[in-house]
Amino acid sequence: MSNTLHHKLATMLDVVYPATDTGLLADQLLETMALARDTSAPPAHQNNWDEADVMLITYADTVQRTGEKPLQTLNRFLDDCLKDTVSAVHILPFFPYSSDDGFSVMDYLAVNESHGDWEDIERIAGDYKLMADLVINHMSARSRWFENFRKRIDPGKDYFFEARPSDDLSAVVRPRTSPLLNAVQTEDGERYVWCTFSEDQVDLNFANPQVLNEFVGIIRYYLERGVTIFRLDAVAFLWKEVGTSSIHLQQTHELIKILRLLIEHHTPESVVITETNVPNRENLTYFGNANEAHVIYNFSLPPLLINTLVTGNCRHLKTWLMSMPPAQMGTTYLNFIASHDGVGLRPTDGLLTEEEKLRLINTMESFGGKVSYRRTPDGKDQPYEMNVALFDALKGTAEGGADDWQLQRFICAHTVMLALEGIPAFYIHSLLGTENDHERVENTGRLRSINRGQWNLDTLEAELADPLSHHHNVFTELKRLIAIRRKQPAFHPNATQFTLHLGLQLFGFWRQSMRRDQSIFCIHNITDEVQQVSLGDINLIGTDQWQDLISGLKIDDLSGSLTLKPYQSVWLSNRE
- Tell me the C-alpha distance between 337 and 357, whole Å: 17
- Cα 473 to Cα 174, 408, 413, 463, 464: the distances in Å are 40, 10, 15, 10, 8
Would you say 495 and 469 are in contact if contact means Cβ atoms under 8 Å apart?
A: no
Please choose, from the candidates 330, 253, 331, 345, the residue with its C-alpha nearest in 3D space to the C-alpha of residue 299: 345
- Write the DSSP string, 138-204: EEETTSHHHHHHHHT-TTTTT-B-B--TTS--TT---S-SS-SEEEEEETTEEEEEE-SSBTTEEEB
Is 341 annotated among the ligand-binding residues? Answer: yes
Residue by residue, what is the 3-state secondary structure of 362-384?
HHHHHCCCEEEEEECCCCCEEEE
Is 232 annotated among the ligand-binding residues? Answer: yes
- Tell me the C-alpha distance between 152 and 81, whole Å: 50
- Tell me the C-alpha distance between 15 and 313, whole Å: 46
Please choose, from the candidates 202, 270, 286, the residue with its C-alpha nearest in 3D space to the C-alpha of residue 236: 286
Sequence-distant (6+) residues with CB within 8 A of 216 are 29, 32, 33, 259, 262
3-state secondary structure of 424: strand
Please list the active-site residues: 233
Is it true that the peptide bond before 268 is cis, omega within 30 degrees of 0?
no
Would you say 336 and 390 are in contact if contact means Cβ atoms under 8 Å apart?
A: no
What residue spans of 267-324 are helical by DSSP H? 280-284, 301-311, 315-323
From the CB of residue 475, how many other CB atoms can be counted at a distance below 10 Å?
20
Sequence-distant (6+) residues with CB within 8 A of 454 are 61, 62, 63, 64
Cα 48 versus chain centre, distance: 17
Is 233 annotated among the ligand-binding residues? Answer: yes
Is 231 annotated among the ligand-binding residues? Answer: yes
What residue spans of 450-552 are helical by DSSP H? 457-465, 470-485
3-state secondary structure of 418: helix
- Tell me the C-alpha distance between 219 and 109, whole Å: 10
Is 200 annotated among the ligand-binding residues? Answer: no
- Tell me the C-alpha distance between 375 and 381, whole Å: 4
Would you say 56 and 497 are in contact if contact means Cβ atoms under 8 Å apart?
A: no
Q: Which long-range contacts (CB under 8 A, 24 or more apart) does 322-327 make?
A: 322/499, 323/280, 324/421, 325/284, 326/421, 326/494, 326/496, 326/497, 327/287, 327/421, 327/422, 327/493, 327/494
Sequence-distant (6+) residues with CB within 8 A of 303 are 343, 344, 345, 347, 348, 352, 360, 386
Would you say 360 and 304 are in contact if contact means Cβ atoms under 8 Å apart?
A: no
Binding residues: 100, 138, 231-233, 340-341, 448
- Binding-site residues for substrate, in ranges, read 100, 138, 231-233, 340-341, 448
